[in-house]
Amino acid sequence: MKRYLSFFFIVFSLISFAQVEEKKLDELIQNTLKTFDVPGMSVGIIKDGKTVFSKGFGVRSLTTKLPMDDHTLVGIASNSKAFTCVALAILSDEGKLNWDDKVSKYIPEFQMYDPYVSQNVTIKDLVTHRAGLGLGQGDLMFFPEGGNLTVKDIVHNVRYLKPENPFRTTLDYNNIMFIVAGEVITRISGLSWAEFIEQRIMKPVGMNASFGSYNRAKAIANKIDAHAPVDGKAVAITHDWNETANAAGGIMSNIKDMTIWAQFLLNNFTTKDGKKLVSDKNIQQLWSLQISSPVSLKNSYDTNFYGYGLGWFLSDVKGHKQVQHTGGLNGTVTQFTLIPDMKLGIVVLTNQQSGAAFNTITNTVKDSYLGIADRNWLKTYSERMKKADGEYSKQKKEAFAKSEAFRKEKNLHPRPEQFVGTYNDQWFGDIEISPVGNTYRISCKNSPRLKGELLPFSNNSFIIKWDDRSYDADAYLIFNYDENGKAESAKMKAISDVTDFSFDFDDLDLKRK
């Protein structure tokens, strides 16, 4: 009798502990939503082959006020890159490609800026951020959403992107190369990237509620609205993902399916019905460090190495290998974390662009399984963001104050004939500067939603105040004049460090037409 009572009390204690921990996590998530002004979030945890947590919190949209649940679809953004690499691994296992094949074997017209790189860049180079392009370089060809350029256009325009680093020397995160990798998949399989992902990965894995692109999920009602801070408060914004960049970040999924994905990966890339989609040889390729990046000597998880595999960031945390990626679109960010030897997976999906929010949840859950006492990540990230937001606000206020002071100096105003006209960048296309009433406007031919007002800043520059205030990407437009005082060219750069790196203004080289 005592034996059965002891067993009862042990089981009861475990249940009580689980309930207490779940209640604490619920409270943390609710406080995180409030602290970082995130309307909705869904969180999933996999441990030892079981889903131990799968919930939605808050609302999927500030417009409808409908609740966020574990079935609510979210754009997982760059967490899609792992699917691109698994797709390539499947084709490799079928003998249809080799990671070290030259890209030109499948896309003969593909060229990069340097002829040597054009001849030698491989499929592996495309998906390891080591081809020489800089952080976010070329992203304006698809970002922000709603651009006019096709995949064919982007593949062609890569040749105009002057690399920021020598070939295969530096890890600089880049989306454009993943778009090219997606085109390789299409050329080999005859399917669109989204079709291949849905048919060859999602369906056998059991991700039955997920889609390879935003447009393919349009009929689904239970999906988020994207949200971004405007004047310090989150508002619903347009979510219209550009189909050209699906291979870099197009998937729509929910926390139910993403925990199924995590379980599949932790189960040695084997589906529930026992089908192994990727060979051990290629799993090793996917989760082996292909290019490294420096690590701070002092860090929160005693990390010694950090870098990129094929579609995932790899590092060590407290002696355990971590496989992780994040994703970000305008108005939504996500985080996917695996610690394979612990059979642990943590997924956080949100409908606001606060990385501090997903880091708070992931780190707290991770610490609990690593046996680390509560470090109050919510407080840490809250303090960090307040400090950063203060610095960003100061940068923007100082820029606009200087612009206003310059505007009042009537004798220091550039004449329209000096700079009004059309400017062209080889990879981005035309930008139009035109007078409208008593002011000037800028519009971008291949990115119609990127338009705004020009505010005089100095004798040769303006501040671009974008119409869509959710971008938080106002920029300087700096003209270079000839000896007659007429603009020949122009450069751009963001006025604040808050600007997302995908607003790749610095790499534009605008020539007056």
- Measured between alpha carbons, how far is 254 from 276 in angstroms, rounded to an integer? 23
CATH 1.10.10.10 fits 393-512, yes or no: no
pTM above 0.75, yes or no: yes
Q: How many CB atoms within 10 Å of residue 469? A: 16
Q: Where are the alpha helices (DSSP H) in 332-456?
A: 355-370, 377-407, 416-419
Query: Which pLDDT does position 410 carry in this prediction?
Result: 64
Give the pLDDT score at 159.
Answer: 98
pLDDT in the model for residue 407 = 86
Rounded Cα–Cα distance for residues 477 and 466 (Å):
12
Pair 156, 162: CB distance under 8 Å: no
Whole-number pLDDT of residue 381 = 97
* Confidence at residue 11, expressed as pLDDT on a 0 to 100 scale: 37
Helices 355-370, 2-35: inter-axial angle, 10-degree rounding: 160
Burial 365-377 (b: 16+ CB within 10 A, else e): bbbeebeeeeeeb
Q: What pLDDT score does 408 carry?
A: 85
Fold matches, 2-375 and 393-512: no
- State the number of CA atoms in the 13 A half-sphere of 237 facing the CB: 25
End-to-end, the C-alpha distance of the chain in Å comes to 92
CATH number for domain 2-375, candidates 3.40.710.10, 3.30.420.10, 3.40.920.10, 3.10.20.740: 3.40.710.10
- Please report the pLDDT score of residue 17 as a whole number: 35
Q: Is 352 left (phi over 0), alpha (psi -120 to 50) or beta?
A: beta
10-residue mean pLDDT profile of the chain (513 residues): values are 37 41 94 98 96 97 97 97 98 98 98 97 98 96 92 98 96 97 98 98 98 94 95 87 91 98 98 96 98 94 97 98 96 97 98 96 96 95 96 96 87 78 98 94 96 94 96 97 94 96 96 96
d(CA 167, CA 178): 16
Rounded Cα gap, residues 268 and 256, in angstroms: 19
What pLDDT shows up at residue 162? 96
What is the distance, to the nearest Å, from the Cα of residue 434 to the centroid of all Cα atoms in its chain?
33
Element (H, E) at 344: strand 344-350
Query: Which sequence spans correspond to the domains of the chain?
Result: 2-375, 393-512
